Amino acid sequence: MNKILTGFIASALLAAGSMYGQIEVNENLTVTGFFDMSATSTDDDSGSSSSYNFDQAEIDFILSFEDVTGQVDLNYLGDNSTGDFSLEQAFITYDLDNGSSVSAGKFLSYHGWETAEPTGLFQYSYAYDLMGTIPGYHNGVTYDYSDDFVTLGLGLLDSVYSADGSIQDSEYGIEAKAVFTPAEGLTLYLGLAKDSMDTGPDKDLINFWASYEVGDATYAVEYNTYDFGSVEGNQWLVMGNWALSDTFGITARVSDDAIDGGESAMKYTLSPGWTVGENLGMLFEISETDFDTMGSATSFAFETIFSF
């Protein structure tokens, strides 16, 4: 996901600074996390629905030694019927010096402008309502290199998209990225992903995004094209975020999700967000989605996140 911007509801944090603090236990261990709650209402051609949810709680343990760092994230989702925390990711990284490192374990995909966690999003909802093309967490090994101009990464994975333990011996996944910062505030990202399947079609993704930060504003564009065998298509988004004060910001986004020869969804989103103190943030969102054959949907959301 977007590895450049972090912190709760970035629309309010461009001027205020990150609220996503860390609790230092000792020189080798810090702890961080968040609680996420929301109320939503949706009205579409089939009717209306509403909900109030405790969406997520997460605790992250960050380990730091001389040449080795590690991270373990425990995650609770509100729709988890067992009420238990689960292992979201756990990995170690060895510093090879000269900007290079090797990581191994379970970790998040490189790809996607919009972050996996709500603490890094500019709004409540994701841009694409039809196809989930951006990968999540997977197991494997990565090699990464970074300097002042470019960041390169290559990952050999058990699978890009499949669940843990679901792949066969001859199946594998590959992710690669190239990130360029040619000018101050400008970031260009190109990512590739491939799932090589033993049975069934391979899955391929190209993810491109660019962001530009100038003053108290952030602008971003993204384009995805994918071929999952039986389903092909493309997705794009354009968004802007403006910090209007030290504690208040607003985001506007337009996105499109189109399946070749099938459904499409154009989405319009407006989301003001604000911070209350150093650890509490809130936002409101209204989105209108126009489908090709399924009519339209209007959704409202109010979200609160406490971070530590």
- The token duo for 60 is 């992250």
Closest CA to 222 of 247, 239, 197: 239
Phi/psi-derived region of residue 216, left when phi > 0, alpha when psi is between -120 and 50, beta in every other case: alpha
pLDDT at 140: 95
Tokens linked to 256: 């499109």
pLDDT 10s digits, 152-167: 999 999 999 987 655 5
Tally the residues of the chain: 308
Contact by Cβ (8 Å): 58, 32: no
* Among 35-39, 48-52, 107-111, 167-171, the least confident range: 167-171
Q: Any idea which of 45-54, 62-71, 151-160 has the lowest mean pLDDT?
A: 45-54
List residues bridging with 217 in a β-sheet: 214, 242
Task: Flag whether pLDDT at 28 surpasses 90.
Answer: yes
Domain covering 10-307 in this structure, CATH number: 2.40.160.10
Higher per-residue confidence, 299 vs 21 = 299
- For residue 260, count other CB atoms closer than 10 A to its CB: 12
What are the percentages of helix, strand and coil residues in the chain, rounded to 5? Answer: 5, 65, 35
pLDDT band for position 78 (cuts 50, 70, 90)? confident
pLDDT average, residue stretch 188-216: 94
Backbone angles phi, psi at 13, to 5 degrees: -105, -5
pLDDT tier, 81 (very low <50, low <70, confident <90, very high otherwise): low
Q: What is the pLDDT of residue 24?
A: 87
d(CA 55, CA 290): 26
pLDDT in tens, 126-147: 999 999 999 999 999 999 999 9
Instruction: Name the residue with higher pLDDT: 155 or 15.
Output: 155
- Model confidence at 149: pLDDT above 60: yes
Return the pLDDT at 20: 52
**In the predicted structure, residue 41 carries a pLDDT above the cut 90:** yes
pLDDT at 308 over 60: yes
Question: Rounded to an integer, what distance in angstroms lies between the CA atom of residue 154 and that of residue 254?
Answer: 31
Give per-residue pLDDT as tens, 229-285.
989 999 999 999 999 999 999 999 999 999 999 999 999 999 999 999 889 999 999
- pLDDT value of residue 67: 94
Distance CA 222, CA 207 (A): 7
> ∠ CA(3), CA(36), CA(307), 5° rounding?
65
DSSP 93-108: EEEEETTEEEEEEEEE
Q: Give CA angle at 183 (216, 206), nearest 5°.
A: 95
* Sequence spans of domains, the chain: 10-307
**Is the pLDDT score of 18 beyond 80?**
no
